[in-house]
Amino acid sequence: MAHAAVHDDHHDADDHKPQGFMARWVFTTNHKDIGTLYLVFALLMFFVGGAMAMIIRAELFQPGMQLVEPQFFNQMTTMHALIMIFGAVMPAFVGLGNWMIPLQVGAPDMALPRMNNWSFWILPFAFLILLSTMFMPGAGPQGGWTLYPPLSMQGGDSVAFVIFAIHMMGISSIMGAINIIATILNMRAPGLDLLKMPIFVWSWLITAFLLIAVMPVLAGAVTMLLTDKYFGTSFFNVAGGGDPVMFQHIFWFFGHPEVYIMILPAFGIVSEIIPTFARKPLFGYQAMIYAIASIAFLSFIVWAHHMFTVGMPLGGELYFMYATMLIAVPTGVKVFNWVTTMWEGSMTFETPMLFALAFVILFTIGGFSGLMLAIVPADFQYHDTYFVVAHFHYVLVTGAVFAIMAAAYYWLPKWCGNMYSERWGKIHFWMSVISVNVLFFPQHFLGLAGMPRRIPDYNVAFADFNMISSIGGFWFGLSQLLFVGVVWHAVYKSKNRATAQVWEGARGLEWTVPSPAPHHTFTTPPVIDDSKLAHGDPTH
């Protein structure tokens, strides 16, 4: 059976796979197929958003305007962010959750499989609408992904389409989150207590609560934009007694938890991979869970650190500075625990481990600049410069995206039944890790030297580092094509069959099913053997 399912077109009767493309993919209620759909969609959006980043870096390659008009440039920065956040990173995590959560908790599928289908199939339409705004009269959104009024209201009627697309993405995310919570809380195999769950499952459980809490807040904020523009309300319109700063408060009350939505599952992934390749249990399992929960809690009470320069009262500035600095404590615990997990282990350095290790170092660098940004007087200098651009790309690219890459390499043999090419995986890793630093590290210097973000052109003093950054950008972008090659090869060409165990040090229920995972798994609940779980001993 294991080899019968290697190719998608091998329909094994025992596997009960639906026949035909429509039945298999469009009407699917299978968590694995939906997971695959999410992952393929995320990868596609990663390249669409990446292509926009290439245009941005090409225009910024040297001073002077060479390629695009400023309006188009602003459209690129806005769309790049919206697509990468809502189209690439979030769907990738949902895809990983879909694939792995039922396998990791011993459930036959997600709790709400039909809703699962709907959550996914909303997304392609949402992004078609979003992308189509670029071809509308007055062009697409140009006011930044944060959609600050009054600027965002200056757009043409594409504003309405963008807001509708955001509503659809929000509905998709909320349904996905409900599904994940319902699955984790109701469908664990008998005997798999909460404190025996893999840390990836824990991280997703907490993330799903964040999603449910804040996506409606975003929906509310953009709905107010919509009524301000089309129905004569004045939520944010000064002339009617509204307040543009109120939008920023509401937006960031969503926005800050949102950035943790994009990093907490990454923490979970890295906490799975490092113990596997260090062949040693995760250090401080419970502390890791408490740290994730603390970070999630803090994410609700620090939003205005994105707005230190709007002119808040002194007390507000001080409160948000102190609260923000506190995040360093649980984040520090996580980093120290990962390093301690490696200590006295027996490490090997396969591609997933390389990405996970790079994550620990480079995410921490992004955390450091985050700590610096928390200091209000210093933020008065850093705010809205390339220093901030460097900061959030370190946490989102070398943080979230590297964790997604690590997860893809880690679980790919389980998904497709074949080992990927370790040699090409490593080439992909080294190309990515070097180029991403060439791309983003000089942006710290640019910001400190005084280059604002979101500008299409700059003084010649900023030319050298911009050129270096652009070269890193093209190099990083091209390197990601290697990833497509490695995945394609593993799925369709690789002759190297994966065992059920795949990795010597891997532990947990997903490694007890054959590779590739059959279409239906755990139709009868597995018997839980504490010694075979990643975290069988709840005291740790």
Partner 1 sequence: MMSTGTLRLRRALAAPALVVTTLLSSTIALANNPEPWQLNLTAGVTQTSQEVHQLHMIMLWICVVIGVLVFGFMFVAMFRFRKSKGAVPASWSHSTKLEAAWTIIPVLILIGSAWPATLVLLRMADTSESEMTIKITGYQWKWRYEYVDYFGKDPGINFVSSLESTSDRTRQLGSGLDPAAVKVGDYPTYLLDVDKPLVLPTGVKVRFVITADDVIHAWWVPSLGWKQDAIPGIINSQWTKIDEPGVYRGQCAELCGKDHGFMPIVVNVVSKPEFEQWMTEQAPAPAVPATADVIAPTTGPQG
Residues 423-452 that bind partner 1 (CB under 8 A): 445, 448-452
Smallest gap from residue 472 Cβ to partner 1 (A): 16
Report the b/e string of 299-329 with b at 16+ CB within 10 A. Answer: beebbbbbbbeeebeeeebebbbebbebbee
Which residue stretch of 10-18, 29-37, 222-230, 284-292 sits at the interface with partner 1 (rule: CB under 8 A)? 284-292
Q: Are 474 and 420 in contact (CB under 8 A)?
A: no
SS3 sequence of 177-246: HHHHHHHHHHCCCCCCCHHHCCHHHHHHHHHHHHHHHHHHHHHHHHHHHHHHHHCCCCCCCHHHCCCHHH
Which 219-238 positions form the footprint of partner 1 (CB under 8 A)? 238
Whether 249 sits among the annotated catalytic residues: the reply is: no
Least distance (Å) from partner 1 to the CB of residue 227?
A: 19
* C-alpha distance across the termini of the chain, in Å: 37
Stretch that binds partner 1, among 8-16, 119-127, 417-425, 462-470 (CB under 8 A): 462-470
- Out of 4, 115, 212, 328, which residue is the one contacting partner 1 (CB under 8 A)? 328
State yes or no: residue 143 binds partner 1 (CB under 8 A).
yes
- Is position 336 an interface residue for partner 1 (rule: CB under 8 A)? yes
- Whether the CB-CB separation of 31 and 98 falls below 8 Å is answered with yes
357 binds partner 1 (CB under 8 A): yes
Structure tokens at 420: 């990927």
457 binds partner 1 (CB under 8 A): yes
For partner 1, the closer CB: 282 or 439: 282
Nearer to partner 1 among residue 272 and residue 317 (C-beta): 317
Candidate list 38, 121, 204, 260, residue with the active-site label: 260
Q: Looking at 86-94, 223-231, 310-318, 408-416, which segment touches partner 1 (CB under 8 A)?
A: 310-318
3-state DSSP call for residue 452?
Answer: strand
User: DSSP per residue over 32-47, as a string?
Assistant: HHHHHHHHHHHHHHHH
Note if 172 is an active site residue.
yes
Binding piece for partner 1, criterion CB under 8 A, among 157-165, 241-249, 489-497, 518-526: 241-249
Q: How distant, in Å, are the alpha carbons of 21, 105, 117, 240, 285 from that of 30?
A: 14, 16, 8, 51, 31
Instruction: Assess 285 for contact with partner 1 (CB under 8 A).
Output: yes
- Residue 418 phi/psi, 5-degree rounding, is -120, 150
Site string for partner 1, 45-74 (x = CB under 8 A): ------------------xxxxxxxxx--x
Residues with a catalytic annotation lie at: 80, 109, 145, 172-173, 256, 258, 260, 271, 305-306, 331, 334, 453
